[in-house]
Amino acid sequence: MTENVLEMKGVTKIFPGMKAVDNVDFTLKKGEVHALLGGNGAGKTTLMKILAGVYQAEEGTILIDGQPVQVNSRRKSQELGIAMIFQELSIIPNLTVAENLFLSREKKKGITLDQKRMHEEAKHILDSIGLHISPMKIVKSLSIGERQMIEIARAISTDAKIIVMDEPTTALTKDEQEKLFELIKRLKTRGTGIIYVSHRMDEIFEISDRLTVLRDGKRIETAETKDMNMARVIDFMLGDEKFANDEVAKEKSKNRSKKTVLEVKDISFKKFKNISFEVFEGEILGITGLLGSGRTEILRAIAGLDPFTSGIVKLNGKECNIKSIQDAISQGIIMVPEDRKNEGIIPGMSIQKNLTLTNLPNYFPNGLTKENREREIANKNILELNIQPKNPNKHVGKLSGGNQQKVVISRCLNLKPKVLLLDEPTQGIDIVAKTELQLLFRSLARQGMAIIVVSSELPELVALADRTIILYNGQITKVLDDDEITDKNILYYSTGGSLS
């Protein structure tokens, strides 16, 4: 029997109003790759943050090499041999590779830094994982993939027993991904345990030995990867959501209008080239692709945030010259941004003030606000979208993610958009609010609104989109229609399937 390097028993973490992690057991053997799966909000990240010492669990025990331990700080976690490689890289761009590798554990000679020794050791570590990069190089000049390798090198240099990789391949090219997998195999032979968090089924089936599926904070299933198949894993991941998604999918309209509302012709900007597509009246058009494929950038360009440099956008046959957000708003092109906390809500303001913000000059053309009129509008919005709590004076920062999103969407709808642009509209939102919102989008479409949804959640696109555009490296590789929109097709084309 192989030895367990990590055992988590009955771990529970409670956030106000919800159990983010609910009595979860999780084990990791030496030299094993254990994949951790689950939809957004399933509790994967929370569980890993408990392991990283970022959060403390309310209940449960953690054993490392059979010894019970207290992981009560980030530092403690590192001392216990746990290394985290998060999606957002934590290396410092303007330091050198060696400086990054030894950050906070610099080698010293007396009171000065021992640069020479650090370079030598860095070189040794990099060689040992087959990475031929000079330790003197400034990290800024490396590719994202190389930077990720540096992070892994850092983990190895701390003699980590457990390495957690959170969506490590999102920003990698195919080549870099293969390199990463080779490295993972090498780490396995050294006896390092790896927890591999990912959405991408194909990778999980390629690299993992076992997998655990979480849903709503609970552990649903742990099994040997070779005994599982994709369809079963997806069933485990979705649970009730599968039914909810079916509900949404049922609402798709059968006979769709062929009247073009928005026409995008040959637009280009930094991250995308010659993008053309149309959105019809009453249609929900999905746009997807990997991180960095340009999916968000296209939306931002149309919404006037980062105006495109060439090409044209036509609204109802007329060219609209969008140079700023105000231009887009005044023509009825309204965007719900992805980064809800920074770009969507103003957390310190009340629900009411957030709701009326966009349209304030229209409600009060003479520039003077009226409390009663504002309250009226806010209360109407609160009822329409079932925003909880129903108190217009509550600060938006204190609401749940789902309700914050409802505030943002409601605010946008007050402008009576002709085209609604949604960027990851249900990210980090609980299943109930999520279904409510998806049904809302569908009913808006039925009333004739043209909607574009950018999403990285495959089940959402499958349930919601009438057509889906797939991007790869800033270009459209495929447009899927109706029944062609399946998890498998989206995955295939968004990883460059048609090109390779």
Total binding residues toward another protein, as defined by CB under 8 A: 26
Kindly give, in sequence order, each residue whose CB lies less than 8 Å from that of residue 68, ignoring residues fewer than 6 positions away: 61, 62
Distance CA 250, CA 463 (A): 8
Kindly give, in sequence order, each residue whose CB lies less than 8 Å from that of residue 27, ignoring residues fewer than 6 positions away: 4, 6, 7, 8, 34
Contact status, residue 35 vs residue 208, Cβ threshold 8 Å: yes
406 belongs to the binding site for another protein (CB under 8 A): no
Half-sphere exposure of 183 toward its Cβ, with a 13 Å CA cutoff?
A: 27
* Nearer residue to another protein within complex by CB, 333 or 462: 333
Query: Any bridge partners for residue 14, and if so which?
Result: 19
The one-character DSSP state at 54 is S
Query: Any bridge partners for residue 13, and if so which?
Result: 21
Please name the residue that has the structure tokens 């999102």. Answer: 170
Contacts to another protein from residues 221-250, by CB under 8 A: none
Q: Which of 25, 140, 61 is nearest to 94 (CA)?
A: 140
Q: Which of 348, 384, 481, 484 binds another protein (CB under 8 A)?
A: 348
List b or e across 229-244, with b for residues whose CB sees 16 or more CB atoms inside 10 angstroms. Answer: eeeebbebbbbebeeb
Q: Which of these segments, 51-59, 156-164, 289-297, 362-370, binds another protein (CB under 8 A)?
A: 362-370
416 belongs to the binding site for another protein (CB under 8 A): no
391 belongs to the binding site for another protein (CB under 8 A): no
The total number of residues written for the chain in this structure: 500
Kindly give, in sequence order, each residue whose CB lies less than 8 Å from that of residue 178, ignoring residues fewer than 6 positions away: none
* SS3 label, residue 426: coil
34 belongs to the binding site for another protein (CB under 8 A): no
Greatest Cα-to-Cα distance within the chain, rounded to the nearest angstrom: 78
Q: Which of 360, 383, 432, 499 binds another protein (CB under 8 A)?
A: 360
Q: Which of 286, 289, 344, 401 binds another protein (CB under 8 A)?
A: 344
* Nearer residue to another protein within complex by CB, 137 or 375: 375
* Nearer residue to another protein within complex by CB, 65 or 343: 343
Q: Which of these segments, 119-127, 155-163, 256-264, 360-368, binds another protein (CB under 8 A)?
A: 360-368
Distance CA 447, CA 283 (A): 10
Distance CA 397, CA 120 (A): 49
Q: How far is the CB of 376 from another protein (least distance, A)?
A: 15
Q: Using alpha carbons only, what angle is made at residue 105 by residues 102 and 106, rounded to the nearest 5 degrees? A: 65
Half-sphere exposure of 41 toward its Cβ, with a 13 Å CA cutoff?
A: 19
Distance CA 304, CA 321 (A): 9
175 belongs to the binding site for another protein (CB under 8 A): no
Q: Which of 94, 367, 447, 500 binds another protein (CB under 8 A)?
A: 367
* Nearer residue to another protein within complex by CB, 227 or 371: 371
Element (H, E) at 175: helix 174-189
Q: How far is the CB of 453 from another protein (least distance, A)?
A: 17
Q: How far is the CB of 365 from another protein (least distance, A)?
A: 9
Contact status, residue 81 vs residue 134, Cβ threshold 8 Å: no
* Nearer residue to another protein within complex by CB, 242 or 395: 395
Q: Which of 88, 159, 175, 371 binds another protein (CB under 8 A)?
A: 371
* Nearer residue to another protein within complex by CB, 235 or 339: 339
Q: How far is the CB of 415 from another protein (least distance, A)?
A: 8
Q: Which of 49, 411, 434, 442 binds another protein (CB under 8 A)?
A: 411
16 belongs to the binding site for another protein (CB under 8 A): no
Binding mask 291-330 for another protein (x = CB under 8 A): --------------x-------------------xx--x-
339 belongs to the binding site for another protein (CB under 8 A): yes
Q: How far is the CB of 202 from another protein (least distance, A)?
A: 35
Distance CA 426, CA 438 (A): 8
Q: Which of 86, 205, 364, 492 binds another protein (CB under 8 A)?
A: 364
Q: Which of 85, 335, 385, 431 binds another protein (CB under 8 A)?
A: 335
> Does residue 389 have a cis bond before it (omega within 30 degrees)?
yes
Q: Which of these segments, 108-116, 367-375, 384-392, 452-460, binds another protein (CB under 8 A)?
A: 367-375
The one-character DSSP state at 66 is T
* Nearer residue to another protein within complex by CB, 192 or 414: 414
369 belongs to the binding site for another protein (CB under 8 A): yes
Half-sphere exposure of 424 toward its Cβ, with a 13 Å CA cutoff?
A: 20
394 belongs to the binding site for another protein (CB under 8 A): no
Q: How far is the CB of 5 from another protein (least distance, A)?
A: 38
Distance CA 414, CA 219 (A): 41
Q: CA-based Rg of the chain, rounded to a whole angstrom?
A: 25
Q: Which of 39, 124, 25, 104 is nearest to 456 (CA)?
A: 39
Q: Which of these segments, 50-58, 252-260, 284-292, 359-367, binds another protein (CB under 8 A)?
A: 359-367
Q: Which of 323, 361, 447, 500 binds another protein (CB under 8 A)?
A: 361
Q: Which of 343, 430, 436, 487 binds another protein (CB under 8 A)?
A: 343
399 belongs to the binding site for another protein (CB under 8 A): no
379 belongs to the binding site for another protein (CB under 8 A): no
Distance CA 119, CA 17 (A): 50
Q: Which residues bind another protein (CB under 8 A)?
A: 305, 325-326, 329, 335, 337, 339, 342-349, 353, 357-358, 360-361, 364, 367-369, 371, 411
